[in-house]
């Protein structure tokens, strides 16, 4: 998946990667080059702050550009996203975090929301420490892409809990990409048009829209 995104960014740097429409109708568009730079910067800074390969990073946010950047940052950084249901109460979210911290052999390195991510991206822009334009950034980006392993866990979700306590379900990049490829193969208009993320990305149906787009 990461290699495919890198290919798109190299071949179509100024082409539209995704468009975000605010509730008030404001439209924000991001090219492949911009999306790549933001995601790589985010991954670089999160690694520096301890979110290393194999660690868990929980995320609590509605659909927004920061969420898209974080999905790709997880691929670059090798950490696993845990998407919490943004509509849960604070008490319910705290219970999920407690469960994550109790998981054997897994480490919850970070808990992020939209403000946290935007603050990190602003920090990267000020310092230019994590931009892919820098020589160090290019080499780092190459290493991350080459070491990308589709068999590693990409995403962990909690089930709804309608038949008991919510359970944690892990999904690898191979799981997500395999599903996206199968879905694309069934379309007569594959590789045409634009996917609309009408479902929240903290549900698998919404999260998969990003993967299908790639």
Q: pTM for the full model? A: 0.89
Residue 204: the pLDDT is 93
Q: Which of 46-55, 118-127, 154-163, 187-196 has the lowest mean pLDDT?
A: 187-196
Residue 128: the pLDDT is 55
* Residue 59's pLDDT band (cuts 50, 70, 90): very high
The superfamily in CATH containing domain 2-213 is: ANL, N-terminal domain (3.40.50.12780)
| Greater pLDDT, 69 or 53 | 69
* Cα-Cα end-to-end distance for the chain: 7
The model's pLDDT over 121-164, given as tens digits with 9 standing for 90+, comes to: 888 777 654 444 444 556 777 888 888 888 899 999 998 777 77
* Residue 18's pLDDT band (cuts 50, 70, 90): very high
């Amino acid at each position: 998946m990461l290699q495919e995104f890198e290919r798109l960014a190299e071949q179509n740097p100024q082409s539209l990667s995704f468009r975000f429409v605010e509730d008030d109708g404001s439209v924000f568009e991001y090219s492949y080059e911009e999306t790549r730079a933001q995601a790589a910067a985010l991954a670089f800074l999160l690694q520096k702050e301890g979110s290393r390969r194999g660690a868990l990073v929980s995320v609590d946010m509605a659909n927004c550009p920061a969420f898209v950047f974080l999905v790709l940052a997880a691929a670059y950084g090798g950490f696993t996203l845990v998407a919490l249901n943004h509509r849960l109460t604070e008490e319910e979210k705290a219970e999920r975090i407690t469960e994550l911290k109790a998981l054997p052999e897994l480490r919850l390195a970070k808990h992020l929301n939209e403000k946290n991510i935007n603050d990190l991206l602003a920090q990267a822009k000020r310092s230019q420490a994590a931009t892919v334009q820098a020589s160090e950034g290019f080499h780092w980006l190459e290493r991350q892409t080459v070491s990308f392993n589709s068999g590693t866990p990409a995403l962990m979700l909690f089930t709804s809990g309608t038949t008991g306590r919510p359970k944690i379900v892990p999904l690898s990049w191979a799981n997500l990409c395999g599903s996206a490829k199968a879905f694309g193969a069934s379309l007569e208009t594959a590789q045409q048009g634009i996917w609309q993320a009408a479902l929240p990305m903290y549900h698998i149906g919404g999260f998969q829209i990003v993967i299908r787009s790639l």
